[in-house]
Amino acid sequence: MTGSPSKSRNTPPGWHVIGKHGVFPEASHDETARFNFLTNLNMHLAQEVMPGVQAAYEKRALPRFVADKGRPPVSRQEVRRLMEVDPYYQTWSSLRRNTMEMRQQNGRSLSYRRWDDLNQRAAALNAGSPQLQLDPNLPLPRYVSAVDIHCMPGCYHTEYCADDVSVGANYDSGIFVTTAGMLGKYSDGGGQAIVAWLRDQAELGFKPKRILDMGCTVGHNIVPLAQAFPETEIVAVDVAAPVLRYAHARAKSLGVENITFRQANAENLDYADDSFDLVITCMFLHELSSTALPNVINETYRLTRQGGRVLHVEQPQFTDEMPLFEQFMRDWDSRNNNEPFWGTMHDIDVFALMESAGFDRNKLSSIGLTAVVDTSIFPSAAEADEKTEDYGRKPAWHVYVAEK
């Protein structure tokens, strides 16, 4: 097996090309083979099977609905109820759900098999570091504790022993499967894209000296910023201790010294007003409850200095311009991938929410970003065939930008 994606078959690279670091779990031959099978199965479902879902809707389900009701569906919920009884959709949806569950099983298997080694390696890298600040008394929000996000047993927060990092290792090793390698060597294509955006901003005079990353999990997206701008002070917060232990050890093993990983709730941080030049979130807003989301947006306004920026990397909102079938497909995660707030968040007018927090509407904008990767090895999201859009897995993002 070679490391490069096949141009003729449009297949992903093998899992073995993923970047290793000081706390990355080593995989056996069979564990690597399972990840490769699941990655290719995901691509097959997206490229070969998913188009049939739309054909089933347009050629079978929709005409039947129109014949029965005398009108087309008026909401994605009506499309969902229509498609949930369609055998082709049922087959595709079941397979997609199962690839996620099998990804979690394989990632947990290899992480738990090397439990002692992983935890010891992380503990050695974390020992005595002032840049890992945990708070065992921090209450875990119910929107985190009540659901196993992404079908990940134990979610991001469960600890099975002292100094446990296994949920971080599971998440880090398995994300390649879902994105088919399109996030790059260290699954950090989102962070690399933000670095490219910041380099452009620097030419316009915006050079942040202090950055806050909210909901950092294992630090995929903030480490590239720390590497690109080593003189910048960075704070990365999350509510879950295991992923923070893993994130700090991961960053340190990669030679990063300018990030402080802190266990804290982004809804209510104890930093003074105007503390940061740049506040970012990356695929974090859709994990928040309807109560938490405005609290976090309010904090981004409070913590950003005058002239600073806020950057929210997300998938596109559901709008009147987006076809109902696409809304239905993008909302699959809400009901099938333990993402209960996905649909609600993507219905919200984020700009209105940011304006309510205090941002000037005239200083709000949106841009598109795609993952930046080494295209000699990893597939480019920017060059991916639009006809094989998989409605949410492709690392091409809608980004909300605010200037305070």
Distance CA 8, CA 121 (A): 41
Lowest mean pLDDT among 4-18, 59-73, 201-215, 372-386: 4-18
pLDDT of residue 387: 57
Per-residue model confidence (pLDDT) at position 167:
95
Confidence of residue 253 (pLDDT cuts 50, 70, 90): very high
Tell me which residue of 301, 302, 336 sits closest to 94, measured CA to CA. Answer: 336
Predicted confidence (pLDDT) at residue 2 exceeds the cutoff of 50:
no
- pLDDT > 90? residue 381: no
**Using CA atoms, how far apart are residues 82 and 96, in angstroms rounded to an integer?**
19
pLDDT tens profile 87-132: 999 999 999 999 999 999 999 999 999 999 999 999 999 999 999 9
Model pTM score: 0.94
399 neighbors 369 (Cβ within 8 angstroms): yes
Name the band, by pLDDT with cuts 50, 70 and 90, for residue 388.
low
pLDDT tens for 155-179 read 999 999 999 999 999 999 999 998 8
pLDDT bucket at 1, cuts 50 / 70 / 90: very low
In the predicted model, is pLDDT for residue 395 greater than 80? yes
Average pLDDT over residues 325-345: 94
Average pLDDT over residues 214-229: 97
* Confidence class for position 389, pLDDT limits 50, 70, 90: low
The mean pLDDT of the chain is 93
The pLDDT of residue 194 is 97
